[in-house]
Amino acid sequence: MLMIIKKEIDVKHFIVHFSNVADGYDQGNQKYYLVVSDEILEGEICFMLYPFEGKVTYHRRNKQFCDWKEIDIDNDVLWNYRKLLNRGLKKLI
């Protein structure tokens, strides 16, 4: 299933279907994760979904910096990351 974020409503669909496109599931922390390469900053960003809490977070790591901890993310921020997410999602097919 190819998922592309074109409209803001697609962000909600992305969250609902996150487990279908996730790279894996962390059993210990009970979260799905999707790692996307960021060619511009020469690094990666990891999006995580905690299905039992409904919480979405992200963590960035590149040559310039690394986040100290996971950062909570809302639909507006996911919408801002749509181009990066779409590049990562296209590579899944």
pLDDT one-digit tens code per residue, 41-92:
899 999 999 999 999 999 999 998 999 999 999 999 999 999 999 988 888 7
Contact by Cβ (8 Å): 14, 78? yes
Domain count, the chain: 1
Q: What angle do CA 70, 31, 73 make, to 5 degrees?
A: 40
What pTM does this model have?
0.90
Is residue 12 situated within a structural domain?
yes
Q: What is the pLDDT of residues 21-33, one digit of tens each?
A: 999 999 999 999 9
Residue 81 lies in domain: 8-90
Report yes or no on 41 lying in a domain. yes
- Name the E strands within the chain: 24-26, 31-38, 43-50, 55-62, 71-72
